Amino acid sequence: MLKVALGQFAVSRVWEENAQVCEDLMRRASEAGAGLLILPEGILARDITDPQIVLKAAQPLDGPFVSRLLAASRGSRLATMFCVHVPTGDGRVWNTLVTLRDGEIISEYRKLHLYDAFNMKESTNVTPGDQIPPLLEIDGLKIGLMTCYDVRFPEMARRLALDGADLLALPAAWVRGSLKENHWEVLVTARALENTCYIAATGECGERNIGRSMVVDPLGVVTASAGEGPALVLTEIDPERLAHARKVLPVLANRRFAAPELA
């Protein structure tokens, strides 16, 4: 059994303030017995009036922000997952999902699908990744990594499920808009149900983004959720529920298509 925490908050434009919020959420999640804490996407800085903030605020993984959270993670079994913008070296950035545990970076994933939709263009400043992330194992469960807009691409979730994922982790910053809350709920639930996986999706809240963090089980049941404000939500990932879902709904075994490959 893995206890998962979703740490939802509104990101400020000052990285030190965001680091302090993360440290507090890490402490509270650890005290609650969580083995995994999922924070939102883009937590270095947010300023809806400055489209260049991702470039101005970007830091390398050995920079002060991640170093501070690494220090906070030492001596704890808690794994903490979040997305930050990391300089590529050519004036652009990668949107990088990082997982920390006990003072070490244990996984990195560069976002594959960039948010060039709904009159926004993430690719203006961000370079896409070029690799499907390997699974991360925590407390005996295998975790597939995705970031925000990735959830709109069922091929990615299916590939991670076929690779063996029990849980899909999804840090996000889901932008407000007409019916966008509905899109979020439908897509997160669909990715869980169609792959008989758990999915734990943490959204940033605040002026621009919806929050609405949620965990959905392999049969499409929402087991935990948050509203529009800051929150720490906890729930358990149950291997028995996973095994039951895959027995009564063997979609992975019944499929007729090969595993998706990255183009």
User: pLDDT digit string (tens) for 152-195?
Assistant: 999 999 999 999 999 999 999 999 999 999 999 999 999 999 99
> Checking DSSP bridges between strand 167-172 and strand 141-145, what pairing results, if any?
parallel
Q: What is the pLDDT of residue 163?
A: 98
In the residue annotation, 148 being an active-site residue is answered as yes
Q: 186 with 222: CB under 8 angstroms?
A: no
Average of per-residue pLDDT across 60-83: 98
Whether pLDDT at 48 is above 90: no
User: Nearest Cα to 3, choosing from 29, 41, 40?
Assistant: 29
- Can you give the length of the chain in residues? 263
- CATH 3.30.465.10 given to domain 2-254: no
Burial environment of residue 80 by CB neighbours within 10 A (0 to 12, 13 to 18, 19 or more)? buried
Whether pLDDT at 118 is above 90: yes
Catalytic option among 22, 83, 148, 205: 148
State the average pLDDT for the chain.
Answer: 97
Catalytic option among 22, 41, 197, 205: 41
Please give the share of the chain, as a percent, with pLDDT higher than 70: 100
Tell me the three state secondary structure of residue 26.
helix
Half-sphere exposure of 65 (CA within 13 A, CB side): 23
Q: Cα(22)–Cα(39) distance, rounded to whole angstroms?
A: 8
Structure token pair of residue 38? 């999922």
Listed in order, strand segments (DSSP E) in 111-259 are 136-138, 141-145, 167-172, 198-203, 214-216, 222-225, 231-237
The pLDDT tens digits of the residues spanning 10-19 come to 999 999 999 9
Sequence letter at residue 104: E
Torsion sign over Cα 99, 182, 186, 119 = negative
Catalytic option among 22, 111, 197, 204: 111
In the residue annotation, 56 being an active-site residue is answered as no
For residue 177, give every residue at least 6 positions away whose Cβ sits within 8 Å of its Cβ, in sequence order, or none.
118
- pLDDT tier at 51, thresholds 50, 70, 90: confident
- Delimit the domains of the chain by residue range: 2-254
